[in-house]
Structure 1
């Protein structure tokens, strides 16, 4: 089921219709195995109706603005796991990647995976938009900023360098690409940064979206908020330069994977 959900998300970039067909199959599977109960199913149905209303309301500016606002609020609620009825699969519960790492819990999040479907209904250019071309050396600097940020976190005492390849790496990869990075990049870069860039300077849109992304991590403390905001700057630049949502997703996943393999994950257990 979860592989099919990932496939549905992958298909969205190429064929919205095919992605929705696969999603419909996955929703039926989710109901049959108890991942979705009747409350979640009703919420998904209501979201589908709202998406249809929004599609037909586009010629009417006020109505379109209202339905889009409701859909974005819906996406945020799903992102934050505020919608009842979703019984996400918990693969790991409080495991320690290493003795110096904080406990880590891994979920396959069905609710969060719905976010790109909703936002694509709000913004047809969610996955592909105008790019700001940059030369190779600038891209190399941006790639280098990923390990540089992790080393900065290490120097400030938030992480510690160490190497490990956990046996659950394949499950982490699937979950992090499709059910974490794609959903978050769709909201903060594909939608928020793109919308803001249409009414403000691209640099301001970049900073604001990165700050909102950092604020989403407030439960981890101010250090995590700071580094998530800096990471959001990297992902936002990758999106802005490429005009491709999946490029930002790959930068996001790349940072998470590099931390998992070469640093304490998700953070150092005993902060100074």
Structure 2
């Protein structure tokens, strides 16, 4: 129930903020009762809520905007990096191996990371919807969709992945975690906030490249090859955001690539590549 409520709050966040906050409040209550949120975590959430309420009392102006965005951006990055204590995220999968040539991995439902869109929306009201920076033809959209499997095929040629179809019994848990607790949080930070903000002070293509490069850089733990492909994936997600002005479009591209990766290729990498 806790994680369904949290996912529902994120799903409603763009369209009905009141219902979204009610669902989030219920999720927080369940999380405290179940031990997912210890006192440092729920205290941090309470401070963020008070800061969001107090920010409305500050006179409008550039100083107000910079101060609010700065606090919320730092908080969002801290949540993304799991450095705030007290979040006892639920481990859903432990060292599962999707296929014989795939590397074993663990998966968590991350409460802290799921809070990132809420935090960034306080600082940037246009996080979910903004003016498209370019309106491409249907053919360009088709090419962007085809770029998702093309990137995975390039990874196969480069030796980072291998064909290995999967039908995991935990597919629904993976989909829930990946779309709400991974893809949405990452796209909110790198596309909805970072690329959008950079696009205000530099050409949109430069903002796209920088945000994609930073997205690739945070995957440093996976090695150079993963950083390169994460950067290229970031370009795909960034184009989806830039062309649509809709955060959920970028999220769907992100989730679509991750789902294709799991279903048809070694996941997260193949054993040889990991060694």
TM class by smaller structure: over 0.9
Name the counterpart of 1:122.
Answer: 123
Deviation by residue 1:212-231 (Cα, 9 ceiling, x = unmatched): 11111111111111100000
1:34 aligns with 2:5: no
Name the counterpart of 1:158.
Answer: 160
Name the counterpart of 1:140.
Answer: 142
Give how far 1:53 is off: 2.8
Q: Determine helix, strand or coil for the equivalent of 1:13.
A: coil
Q: Determine helix, strand or coil for the equivalent of 1:100.
A: coil
Give how far 1:258 is off: 0.2
- Is the CA contact 1:58–1:64 (under 8 Å) kept in the aligned structure 2? no
Name the counterpart of 1:7.
Answer: 8
Give how far 1:32 is off: 0.4
Name the counterpart of 1:86.
Answer: 87
Give how far 1:26 is off: 0.7
Name the counterpart of 1:51.
Answer: 52
Can you give the 5+ residue segments of structure 1 that lack an aligned partner in the other structure? none
- Is the CA contact 2:69–2:124 (under 8 Å) kept in the aligned structure 1? no
Instruction: Give the Cα–Cα distance (whole angstroms) in 2 for the partners of residues 258 and 65 of structure 1.
Output: 39
Give how far 1:91 is off: 0.6
1:253 aligns with 2:250: no
Give how far 1:149 is off: 0.5
Instruction: Give the Cα–Cα distance (whole angstroms) in 2 for the partners of residues 55 and 64 of structure 1.
Output: 11
Single out whichever of 49-58 and 38-47 deviates more from structure 2: 49-58
Alignment of 1:195-234 (within 5 A): 195-234=197-236
Give how far 1:58 is off: 5.7
Question: TM (normalized to structure 2)?
Answer: 0.96
Name the counterpart of 1:169.
Answer: 171
Single out whichever of 251-260 and 41-50 deviates more from structure 2: 41-50
Question: TM (normalized to structure 1)?
Answer: 0.97
Give how far 1:162 is off: 1.3
Give how far 1:240 is off: 0.6
Q: Determine helix, strand or coil for the equivalent of 2:57.
A: helix
Give how far 1:66 is off: 2.3
Instruction: Give the Cα–Cα distance (whole angstroms) in 1 for the partners of residues 149 and 88 of structure 2.
Output: 35
Give how far 1:63 is off: 4.0
- Is the CA contact 1:197–1:205 (under 8 Å) kept in the aligned structure 2? yes
Deviation by residue 1:175-195 (Cα, 9 ceiling, x = unmatched): 000000000000000000001
Q: Determine helix, strand or coil for the equivalent of 2:196.
A: helix
Deviation by residue 1:6-62 (Cα, 9 ceiling, x = unmatched): 000000110112211110111011000000011101110111122223333361422
Instruction: Give the Cα–Cα distance (whole angstroms) in 1 for the partners of residues 53 and 95 of structure 2.
Output: 41
Aligned residues: 272
Name the counterpart of 2:25.
Answer: 24
1:70 aligns with 2:74: no
